[in-house]
Amino acid sequence: MGKWALVRIDNRLIHGQVAAGWIGKSNAENIIVIDTETANNELMADILSLAVPFGIRFSIVTEEEGIARYREDRYDPHGTMLVFKDIRTAYNCMKAGFGIESLQIGGTGARPGAVSVEGTITVTEEEIRLLDEICADGIQVYLQQTTQSRRTNWPDAKKKLK
């Protein structure tokens, strides 16, 4: 298997910054969104598909379906951008064996119990633990909201929380 074009957590999933910036920068030809709530919401799925540039293949699957397809070797990471809505789903897919080398966090949004790390990137105590575990598994985790913004590795970003 090849290397994923980009693996990103973004609570907004597909939007202008992803469509205009990250698809081109990563040379993605295919986008797979893994989010159960969105996959089960036909209206939201239709709205997201409108943000995807012409010529880019796009699919939205539930977490369970995404893991099953990966285990069946139905994904070609080469040229594929993988997008998760939240840290927990990304963590679950990584633990299920997705061959991920690096994880970009672009936005998690304001939520109860979450504290800001950088801009719209917020984390809860549980998410801090999950990100630490992902890093301990040898996966590079970094924060980067836009293609123009500074890239901050998770261990450095975490220091801001103390």
**Two tokens, residue 74:** 């139905």
d(CA 136, CA 140): 9
Count of C-beta atoms within a 10 Å radius of residue 34:
27
Q: Which residue has the higher pLDDT, 16 or 131?
A: 131
Q: What is the pLDDT of residue 77?
A: 83
At residue 77's C-alpha, the angle toward residues 57 and 105, to 5°, is 90
Q: Percent of the chain beyond pLDDT 90?
A: 82
Per-residue pLDDT reduced to its tens digit, 22-80 = 998 999 999 999 999 999 999 999 999 999 999 999 999 999 999 999 998 888 888 99
Full-prediction pTM beyond 0.85? yes
Pair 66, 32: CB distance under 8 Å:
yes
d(CA 117, CA 123): 7
